[in-house]
Structures are given as structure tokens and as C-alpha cells.
């Protein structure tokens, strides 16, 4: 028996486009922010946040150890800020387009918040059970627990307890 994949309708595919477009725009925003921070870091400037509303005013106040920012560098950063502001405006448009689809009525918002709270509680319950099962299944030694969660235990080789960072994080957190 072969598995069959249902081809989405044109309308369903069009609804998915909004989410995909937002994902691409957020990636572009990240690229612009990183480029600006990288240009400034090369001059020894840290702590500048291009996503703040006063980004242009703060750019004018930035100083290097040798004085003001070079003019060409400042011009390049201004161009990046122009592109960044365009992407931010496009993200706002896409989010405004998404809002009617997901609903912003008070009843819908309350239901979404209740769902989020339930999901958070379920995640916490799952994590607690996994940790407690990990402790009850392997109460005798850390060697057993680390052997089952994908970590590498070197106690047998060196006599000390060195566990690598791979494996299930919530089982590693409780030795």
C-alpha cells in the first residue's frame, strides 16, 4: 500500500503563502541587523541595536576610539537602515494581513491564551514525567541513565564523571 499525499487547493496554498512570506522577511531582517552589527563591530562598537526606534539618532551619536564614524561607513549603515525599515514595514503589512485570518476578537484571543496555557502545562508535565521516569528506571547509577539518553559517559575510561553535551537535555540536567 502506498501513501498518498493530498495536494492542497489553490486557496489553502494561498493562505500558506502569507506565513512563508513572513518567514522570508524575518530572515531578511535578521540579515540586515547582523550586517549592521558586523560593520560596527569591525570598528570596535558594540551594543548598537538596529531594531530600536531611535536607531538613526543613536547612529549619529556613535563614536569609535578615533572619533566619529567614517562618513562612508555611516552612509553604508544608513543604506542598510533604509532596507531594514522597508523590511520592517513589509513584516507589519503581512502581520496585518494575517490578523483577520486568525481572529482578534476577545473570545478568540481568550481561547488562544487558554490553549497556550494548556500547552505550557502539558510541556511541563511531560518534562517532569520524563525526568521522574529517568530517575526511577535507573536509580542505581548515572552510567545507566547516560547510556540511555544518548550521552557518552567516560567514567569507565578515566574514573571521573565526564558526560558529553549530546543527548536529552532534561535527563542530563538531573544527574
Backbone angles phi, psi at 123, to 5 degrees: -65, -45
Task: Give the residue from 84, 71, 75 showing the smallest Cα distance to 31.
Answer: 84
CA–CA distance, 20 with 122 (Å, rounded to integer): 28
1-15, 20-34, 84-98, 121-135: which range is least confident on average?
Answer: 121-135
Instruction: Specify whether the CB–CB gap between 63 and 69 falls below 8 A.
Output: yes
pLDDT band of residue 98 (cuts 50, 70, 90) is confident
pLDDT at 134: 52
Task: Give the residue from 25, 87, 16, 14 showing the smallest Cα distance to 50.
Answer: 87
75-79, 99-103, 117-121: which range is least confident on average?
Answer: 117-121
Whether the predicted pLDDT of 106 surpasses 80: no
CA–CA distance, 95 with 21 (Å, rounded to integer): 10
pLDDT at 42: 93
Angle separating helix axes 10-41 and 71-102, nearest 10 degrees: 150
pLDDT at 142: 45
Interval 111-165: pLDDT, tens: 666 666 555 544 555 554 555 555 444 444 444 444 445 555 555 545 555 555 5
pLDDT at 146: 47
Backbone angles phi, psi at 42, to 5 degrees: -65, -20
Cell numbers found for residue 84: 531594514
Whether the predicted pLDDT of 57 surpasses 60: yes
pLDDT at 137: 47
Interval 29-51: pLDDT, tens: 999 999 999 999 999 999 999 99
Backbone angles phi, psi at 68, to 5 degrees: -70, 160
Cell numbers found for residue 167: 543527548
Amino acid at each position: 500500500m502506498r501513501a498518498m499525499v493530498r495536494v492542497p487547493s489553490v486557496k489553502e496554498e494561498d493562505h500558506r503563502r502569507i506565513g512563508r512570506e513572513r518567514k522570508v522577511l524575518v530572515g531578511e531582517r535578521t540579515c540586515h541587523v547582523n550586517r549592521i552589527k558586523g560593520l560596527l563591530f569591525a570598528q570596535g562598537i558594540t551594543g548598537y541595536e538596529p531594531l530600536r526606534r531611535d536607531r538613526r539618532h543613536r547612529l549619529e551619536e556613535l563614536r569609535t576610539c578615533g572619533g566619529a564614524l567614517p562618513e562612508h561607513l555611516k552612509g553604508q549603515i544608513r543604506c542598510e537602515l533604509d532596507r531594514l525599515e522597508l523590511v520592517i514595514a513589509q513584516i507589519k503589512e503581512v502581520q496585518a494581513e494575517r490578523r483577520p485570518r486568525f481572529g482578534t476578537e476577545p473570545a478568540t484571543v481568550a481561547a488562544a491564551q487558554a490553549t497556550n496555557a494548556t500547552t505550557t502545562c502539558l510541556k511541563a508535565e511531560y518534562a517532569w514525567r520524563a525526568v521522574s521516569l529517568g530517575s526511577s528506571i535507573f536509580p542505581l547509577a548515572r552510567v545507566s541513565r547516560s547510556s540511555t539518553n544518548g550521552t557518552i559517559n567516560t567514567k569507565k575510561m578515566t574514573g571521573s564523571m565526564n558526560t558529553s553535551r549530546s543527548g536529552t537535555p532534561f535527563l542530563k540536567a538531573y544527574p
